[in-house]
Chains A and B, each alone.
Chain A
Amino acid sequence: MDALAAICERIASYSSRTRKIHLLSAYLRPLSDEDLVRAVQFLCCSPVRNQDRRGMAVGYATLRDALASVTGWDADTLRLCFREVGDIGEAASLLLFNRTAGEPLPLALAEELYTELYNARKVVQKLDVLQSCFRRFRPLALKYFVKVITGDLRIGLQSKMVEEAVAEATDTTHEAVRRANNRSGDLAGVALAARRGQLHEIEARLFHPMDFMLAKPLDALSDLTDPENWIVEDKYDGIRAQAHVAGGRVVLYTRGLEDVTGSYPELVRALSGLPGSSVMDGEILAWKNDRALAFTVLQQRLARKRLTPELLEEIPVAFMAYDLLYRDGKLLLDEPIEERWRLLEELLENRALPLLLSPQHSAAHIDDIDRLFEEARGRWNEGLLLKRRGSAYEPGRRSGTWLKIKRPYATLDVVVTAAEQGSGRRATMLSDYTFGVRSGDGFVNVGKAYSGLTDEEIRELTRILRSLATNHFGRVYVVRPQVVLEVAFDGIQRSSRHKSGFALRFPRIVRWRRDKTPEQCDDVERVRELYEASLRQGVTEKQA
């Protein structure tokens, strides 16, 4: 852990992406097989191999209590230190400066300790392990030992860059490593296979989520020159999900690769009846009277803590399947979309609600797509998804063989209230903005966005926002409300997190409105109007 921590510090001190990758690959290359696996695993913030980090159940309170008992600092002092530093691993290393026995922490020992933490049932046992760590090892190693637990190294190293470093250190291509990682979701195992020249042997494993293929937005229909080469489907406004099914067992993963199986018992019942083993890509929708309800309705179901029979009846869900990635031991990613869909149709041959198969259409002309778009909108769907004929399924990619055409939603003019430093190339810039709308004499937050501006604009905004900063908490700067942005979004939902009571879904910055003052921003009433309009859509639906 000592050498890994040292290399992480060097990686943090370079903003150049290639430099970070070179530093990391030079560190990984000479490691033993065992340490290569451990190092890559820790770099992915996975303390215990093939186990969800959260299963360790070591949170802020446990770390704080362990630090309090080792350092003797009172709660107020610790709280202030954590606030100033903004990262608990870094704070731990600073608080333990010159106060530990300074023992080295080999990666193998770190793995043992993580496993011990993972297996400890009681908090006191976890505290014992942490306290002994905080007394024994060097502060720099502990900084990263803790960061792996909290799940963010904060050195501007995205997972794609770890993939690239693994490829460079094992003399393979990034493409090969990426593909293998997409299949197995276990970059540590991939690194070892890459070193041994066995990447081709890595296959998808059931009940390990794969990355989802993503669609590129198509801004204007006229940009599409060859409509006959595309398969057209409705674009649904639900929750994207991957269903893994084998021998009566079912797991549903979302795009965050989170297991959400427990929320949809009716889907589990239906899917468990499917023959053989399969991995499907699709959408979870609130579904009634032969059509999807608005996303806000699905949200209402998710907001409830307990799934009562009444709720399951009031807001039933369906799984709209549209792709098949795996079937009876065979990975289908490289099969053309037509073949995947044929197999999917075959699998769902005897389907009944809540299982649905997304219909596919063809278009000979742009006008057909126009018509299909209107029809999709008539079915209350979001728009269209265009999939290139003959294309493969590319996990984690937005390669342009899938295109999306969405309904245009109103935009809002908002004011930036806080800014956070970015990561990687944008590590020295304030690139993530929390924004609000007018409410009375002040502003209330409605969301946070980090994409849509050019680097030039972000650089300039960074300068301006730094000069507007009134306070900061770690990486977050609170700023005087002055900078106005126009944001687009996919919907509005109720939120207890924001004072406004609302949160924008998928907000993105359309442009920087240098021409507008904060007084000209939209207000919270406008947000409420838009929210209620979207809700009426759902309510009308339920009455129909």
Chain B
Amino acid sequence: MRVEFNANGIHLPEIGLWLDPKETRDAAWLSHGHAGHASAPHCTIFGTQETLNLYRIRRSEQENLPHDLRPVEFGQPFEFGKARLTAYPAGHILGAAQLLVEYGGERLLYTGDIKLREPLCGLVTEVVPCDHLIVESTFGLPIYHFLSAAEARDRIIDFAQTCIAEEIMPVFLAYPLGPAQEVVHALCAEGIPTAVHGSITRFFPEYERSGYAFPGWMPYESSAAKGRAIVVASGTRNYLEASGKQARVAYVSGWACLDNARTRAGAEELIPYSDHADFEELMELVERSEAREIDVIHGYTEPFARILQLRGRVARAPSAAAYRDEAEG
């Protein structure tokens, strides 16, 4: 099966399908709610119901939404042209999915953004055997090791409770779609009063629809009172700092694996938990996929492809430059 990698996304010309295109295309697969920039009315978009809903929330009212949004069920194959497509859970964020494309006797698996271990909110990833694997490598270096969901939850709750006991305001920085909801979910489930920034709460209804509750959350205002935790998106740090409050900041991200994240994010506490796979998970994923051929996209594409090559795999880093900007925030 032919696969073309270019700056606008991944194209399967024989099938006429684009994977996470950055511009409008006739038919596109949306792997998860972070992705996708197609917005013209005439195109067809496939994705899980959750992904399509999150995609709709992310677009403004004024934008032209595609008329043809086609929800896809996990594990239910469907025909598209001469190909058979099946979505499988990818763990990354709510609704995130891998896509298996079967065509001409070949199995191509596109992971999209993926994590192997169970997330705090979302489904467990299913490893799908394939011939050709297109895998992300946001954290494709052997220095990245993340906490499990249970470990991360304990760290998050412990940090919040310790701060509150010392009458300091615990502030969590996390990516506003995915990791942030996981942090709020953990805090609220523990009964810790939590104020949350609007860039995060706007996705709550979709999470609640899927059964993830945020009992007792309140909207974040700059004059947040003592005794509660704050969850904000990374950029909000600036005016928090300016307000001069007695606060301690925790950064929940895969990048928090490195001490230099303290400067990068302006945080004191580092909680290395991510919606992406860490290095071992990526290696395990590649191993268990039994793929004969691997393309690496996003992040450390060339180094990760080389690591796979040194382990005897057929691996490439196609058009590395085109994908470099797409990493987790």
Contacts and interface: CB of A to CB of B under 8 A. Distances in A.
A207 to B, nearest CB: 37
A317 B238 CA distance: 54
B28 interface: no
A74 B308 CA distance: 12
Interface in A86-130: 86-87, 90-91, 94-95, 97-98
Contacts of A475: 260, 263
A428 B238 contact: no
Contacts, number: 70
Nearest to A78: B142
A430 interface: yes
B142 A90 contact: no
Nearest to A475: B260
B307 interface: yes
B188 to A, nearest CB: 24
A365 to B, nearest CB: 48
A86 B143 CA distance: 12
Interface residues of B, number: 26
A421 interface: yes
A13 B268 contact: yes
B52 to A, nearest CB: 34
A257 interface: no
B190 interface: no
A14 B143 contact: no
A68 interface: no
A313 interface: no
A472 B261 CA distance: 11
Interface string A128-161: 0000000000000000000000000010000000
A463 B238 contact: yes
Interface in A43-94: 71, 73-74, 76-77, 80-81, 84-87, 90-91, 94
Contact of A474 (B260, B266, B280, B307): B260
Contact of B257 (A77, A94, A429, A472): A94
A343 interface: no
B262 interface: yes
Contact of B259 (A71, A90, A95, A98): A90
B268 A15 contact: yes
A81 B263 contact: no
Q: How large is the interface on A (under 10, 10 to 19, 20 to 34, 35 or more residues)?
A: 20 to 34
A12 B267 contact: no
A165 interface: no
B268 A94 contact: no
Interface string A7-42: 000001111000000000000000000000000000
Nearest to A421: B263
B260 A428 contact: no
B306 A76 contact: yes
Contacts of A97: 145
Contact of A77 (B145, B241, B269, B306): B306
Contacts of B238: 463
Given A14-B268, A15-B268, A428 B145 contact: no
A15 B264 CA distance: 15
B262 A84 contact: no
Contact of A428 (B242, B262, B280): B262
A480 to B, nearest CB: 17
Given A81-B142, A97-B145, A421-B262, 11 more contacts: A73-B142, A74-B310, A76-B306, A77-B303, A80-B303, A84-B141, A85-B143, A90-B258, A428-B263, A428-B267, A472-B260
